Structure 1
Amino acid sequence: MKITPLLAGKFKLDGGAMFGVVPKQLWSRTNPADEKNLCTWAMRSMIIEDGDRLILLDTGLGDKQSEKFFGHYHPHGPTLDESLKEQGYHRDDITDVFLTHLHFDHCGGAIERTKDEKLLPTFKNAKYWSNENHWKWATEPNQREKASFLKENILPIEESGQLNHLDVPNGDMLTDTPLGFDVLYVNGHTDKQMIPHINYKGKKLVFMADLLPSVGHIPLPFVMGYDTRPLLTLDEKDKFLKKAADENYVLFLEHDSQNELCTVKHTEKGVRLDEVFAFREVFGE
């Protein structure tokens, strides 16, 4: 197995929205805002090369939305295609696309708009993976999340015949998945978000998606205003971070613009940041 981190660009979101009820005086220590109160966030993806499979985790924003839409989010940096090329891959090489959830900054790059205005899967040779509960949640959206679930990012996956669903477990962890890694299901941010747990080079590498967007979100009250069930997020973070500290998980941070990986530790104030690393410092890639 070989894992390669990829940057699908960066974008900006309101700092207050990203930290909910936490005062700016506190969250700005780790995530300084610009004059419009916007903070810069990464859209970090991952390639898992395992035998004849090339699995992509999340796809970033993509480029098919309108200029007005992108004017709210200020995307910049490399595209996913550029990052794939830099690592010696091509979109047509991808065999599987795993989508942690279907908010636009995680799945927008899954679908492209062609020159003749057709909406088609970006990765034409890939199986796309979601789960039935989240798919229904996203295609029949509540008013809170409606602006994040864009039908042009979602419906063409099913229409193409490339959509596949992982099972929804009775508990919170799905093991022995067809993709070769375990998946933690969490519901605080959105219903049935999927968090991959990957055994890699003797370590447990966890792709954090929006359960933990950045190191600035490690303290339990630092919960995004976007979360649909913030009190549940508190409980899910608490349970996860305690286990991550106990078992020395390596956390892959999808949205942290400065830090690719981190570990956490127990302190008198609860679980806190231990160390941050570049991917190559831990795994030598």
Structure 2
Amino acid sequence: MKLYSINTGYFKLDGGAMFGVVPKSIWNKLNPADDNNMCNWAMRCLLIEDGNKLILIDNGMGDKQDAKFFGHYYLNGDDSLDKSLAKHGFNKDDVTDVILTHLHFDHCGGSIKREGDKLVPAFKNASFWSNKAHWQWATEPNDREKASFLEENILPIKDSGQLKMVKSNHQMAANKLGRTSSEILPSISFLFANGHTESMMLPLIEYNDRRIVFMADLLPAVAHIPLPYVMAYDMFPLTTLQEKKSFLNEAMENKYTLFFEHDPNIECCNLQITEKGIRQGDTFRIQDIG
């Protein structure tokens, strides 16, 4: 197995929304805002090569939206999905599976592209993996979250016949994340979190005697490790708070490595106990893991 970091570009979101109740005087030291109170964030995906499988976890925002849409999010940087795949000798047609942690536009927008007046899968040879609970949540969205679930990113996946569902037999123990095995690869399983959105999937990858967790939006960045740092975007912030606490304890006990989708600077970290609680330990890139 080989792992590759796939950068699809950067975008900007309101700093207050990203850090919730934490005052700007504190969070601005972690990710300084511009004059419009916007902070820059990565859209970093993970590519897994294993035998005849090439598995992509999330795929960024895509490029099919109009200028008004991108004007809200200030897409920036030189990275793109195609460039990052090509850097490692791949293209979209090589991808066999796309795991969608959840269906917010910055995680799944690259799934679908425009061909003339049609919307078609950008990965024509891939299966797209979601789960039934989240799919229903995304296709029947609540009024608060519906701006993040765009039909043009989601419905064409099902129409293509390439949609598959992770079996939702995960066990929900008290105060712990749900979990289930995966039929994609024996070395990939899933943790399930419900605070950010219903049934968000966090892939857990067994790799070279390590267990690497793709954090999606449970911990968007290293700055979100302290418990009170919960996004205003989360549907159920108290649930997120409990999920974070449970996960961080589990991660310490099992020596998980954390892979961050949105941190603008840090790809991976281990954890350590400090006088303030669980915090980041050493930081590194995925390619540095031996």
- With normalisation by structure 1, the TM-score equals 0.97
Q: Which residue number corresponds to residue 49 of structure 1?
A: 49
Range that drifts further, 261-270 or 66-75:
261-270
Does structure 1 residue 96 correspond to structure 2 residue 97?
A: yes
| Distance in 1 between residues matched to 2:185 and 2:254, nearest whole Å | 23
| Distance in 2 between residues matched to 1:63 and 1:55, nearest whole Å | 21
Q: Is contact 2:9–2:76 with CA below 8 Å preserved after alignment?
A: yes
Query: Once the two structures are superposed, what CA deviation does each residue of 1:39-61 show, in whole Å capped at 9, x if it has no partner?
Result: 11000011111111100000000
| Distance in 1 between residues matched to 2:71 and 2:258, nearest whole Å | 31
| Percent identity of paired positions between Structure 1 and Structure 2 | 56
Q: Which residue number corresponds to residue 80 of structure 2?
A: 79
Does structure 1 residue 178 correspond to structure 2 residue 158?
A: no
| Distance in 1 between residues matched to 2:287 and 2:96, nearest whole Å | 24
Amino acid in the other structure paired with 1:111? I
Equivalent residue in structure 2 for 1:230, among 217, 234, 237: 237
Q: Which residue number corresponds to residue 200 of structure 1?
A: 207
Instruction: Give structure 2 stretches of 5+ with no counterpart.
Output: 173-177
Q: Which residue number corresponds to residue 219 of structure 1?
A: 226
Q: Which residue number corresponds to residue 278 of structure 1?
A: 285
Secondary structure class of the residue paired with 2:289: helix
Amino acid in the other structure paired with 1:28? N
Does structure 1 residue 108 correspond to structure 2 residue 115?
A: no
Report how far residue 264 of structure 1 moved: 1.3
Query: Once the two structures are superposed, what CA deviation does each residue of 1:65-93 show, in whole Å capped at 9, x if it has no partner?
Result: 01000001011221101111111001000
Alignment RMSD: 1.0
Secondary structure class of the residue paired with 1:255: coil
Report how far residue 269 of structure 1 moved: 2.0
> Deviating runs (4+, > 3 A) in structure 1?
none
Report how far residue 176 of structure 1 moved: 4.3
Report how far residue 167 of structure 1 moved: 1.1
Instruction: Give structure 1 stretches of 5+ with no counterpart.
Output: none
Report how far residue 282 of structure 1 moved: 2.5
- With normalisation by structure 2, the TM-score equals 0.95
Secondary structure class of the residue paired with 1:22: coil
Does structure 1 residue 247 correspond to structure 2 residue 247?
A: no
| Distance in 1 between residues matched to 2:184 and 2:82, nearest whole Å | 25
Equivalent residues, number: 282
Secondary structure class of the residue paired with 2:110: helix
Q: Which residue number corresponds to residue 64 of structure 2?
A: 64
Report how far residue 281 of structure 1 moved: 2.6
Secondary structure class of the residue paired with 1:72: helix
Report how far residue 178 of structure 1 moved: 2.8
